Amino acid sequence: MSELWAMTAEEMRAAMAAGEVSSVEITRATLARIDAVNPGINAIVDRCDEAALAAAQAADDARAAGHAPGPLAGVPVTVKVLNDQAGHASTNGLRIQKDLIATRDNPFVTNLRRAGAVIVGRTNTPAFSLRWFTRNSLHGHTRNPLNQALTPGGSSGGASAAVAAGMGPVGQGTDIAGSVRYPAYACGIHGLRVSLGRVPSLNFTSGDRHIGAQLMAIAGPLARSIGDLRLAYEAMAVHDPADPWSAPVPLRGPAVPRRAALCLAPDGMDVAPEIRDELRAAARRLEAAGWTVEEVETPPVQEAVRGQLTLWMAEMRRSGGEIVRKEDDPDATLVYERLCRHAPDVDVNGLLDTLQTRARLCREWRAFLETYPVLLCPVSGELPFADLLDLGTEEEFDRIIAAQALQIGIPFMGLPGLTVSTNLVDGPQGRTPVGVQLVATNFREDLLLDGGEVLGGTVAPVG
C-alpha cells in the first residue's frame, strides 16, 4: 500500500471498505502531509484539524455500524476560502472580509458533508478571486509545487496546489473565467467546470450576485485522477433549491455517438506548438478508443470573451470598484484596472444587447455540440504562465487575455469543460505541465469524464 496521503480517493475508499485502514488514519496522515509541505507553498490558509478528525471518526463509526458510505466517505478534501463553511471566514482573499464568519454552509459544502467528505482545510485565492495567479495581502502568495517559477493558477490556485502536493485527493474550486480549469492545467492535475445549475451554490454571507455571476460562476472539483473527479462531482451535484439555478438533472444522459471535434486554434487564437502536439496526440488516443474525431472550426469564441468580460466587469464596476479601492491590494488594483480596459463600461442597453448575444451564442454552441458531442481544444493558448506575469507590462497582460480565450468564453454560455493533464514538457520556465480541454453541451459532464478517462491518467503527488 502506498503512503496513505498519496492515495487517490478511489484507493482510500477501497482500503477503508476492505478494513485495511480507517478514515482517522488517513486523515492523520493527510494532516501530517500538510504540516510537511504546506509551509513551502502556502496552499491551505485555514486549517480544520480538530473538525476533520471528528468527521473522520464519524465516517469510521458509520461504516462500523453498517451504514452505506457516501461517495467521499472518510476522504480528505479542501474548500476554497471564497465559499461559506460554517465557523470559518469567507475571506475571498480580502482583509476587509477576514472577520466575515459563515454561520451556514454553502449548499455544495453541505453536499460534501453528506457524502462523508472530511474537510481538512481551506485554500487560498487571489484577492476578489480575480486572477489566474494566487497572491493576496491577507493570506500571502501560493506557489506551484510542481515548479515554483510557474503560477499555480487562479483563482483556485490554493486548491490546485494542495491537490498536486498530496494535501487531500480532492479540492473544491470555483470557475467564472477558468478558475477550476486553469489551476488544474498549471499544476498538472485534472479539473472539472460543471454546467450552470449542476452544483448548487450560495454564499449566505454575501447573498445573491448579479446576473453575470449567476449565469457564469460554478463550483467544481480538482483531482489527480478522473475517477476522483467523478466521485467528487457526484457528491457535489445534489439539487438544492437554495440556488435558483440548481436543476435536478440525471448525472448521466442518453447515449450519443462517440464523436469529437478537434480544434487546434479556436476562432483564430494563437496556440503554442507543444499544445497543438498534445491535442493531436489526444485525438489519436480517442480514435484508438473507438471515437470518431474530425478537425473542424468552433462557433464564435472571441464574441463570447467580449460578452463574458462585459458581464463580469459590469458587476465588478457596480459593486467592486469602490471595494477594490478600499481593500487596496496592489495586485488586485492593477489587474482590475487592466481588465476594465478590456471591457468598456455599458449602460442598460449595452447589458441587454450582451444578454441577447448570449442567447444566440448558446444556440450556436448547442447546435454544434449536438453534431459533435465533445469538443477537444486547448485549455490555454500558452503553456502555464510564469508566476505573476499579469503584473508585468500591459502587452504581457494583453497576451494573457488572448491566450485565455477559452477560459473566459466557455462560461459565457454556461457550458461544462474539463481540463485533462496529459504530459510534462520543457518550457521557458523549466519543466512545465501541459494538457487539453474537453467541452460538452449543458449537463453532459458524463461525456467529458468518459473522454477524460481515455486521455488522463493518475497523477502522482509532487513536492
Q: Which of 130, 194, 189, 124 is nearest to 159 (CA)?
A: 124
Judge contact between 80 and 43, C-beta under 8 A. no
State residue 175 phi and psi, 5-degree precision: -145, 110
Report d(CA 210, CA 202) in Å as an integer.
12
The residues that are catalytic are 80, 155, 179
Q: Write out the three cell numbers for 123.
A: 485554500
Residue position matching grid coordinates 489526444: 282
Q: Which of 80, 42, 343 is nearest to 218 (CA)?
A: 80
Residue position matching grid coordinates 469529437: 260
Report d(CA 19, CA 66) in Å as an integer.
13
Q: How many residues does the chain have?
A: 463
Q: Write out the three cell numbers for 250.
A: 440525471
State residue 362 phi and psi, 5-degree precision: -60, -45
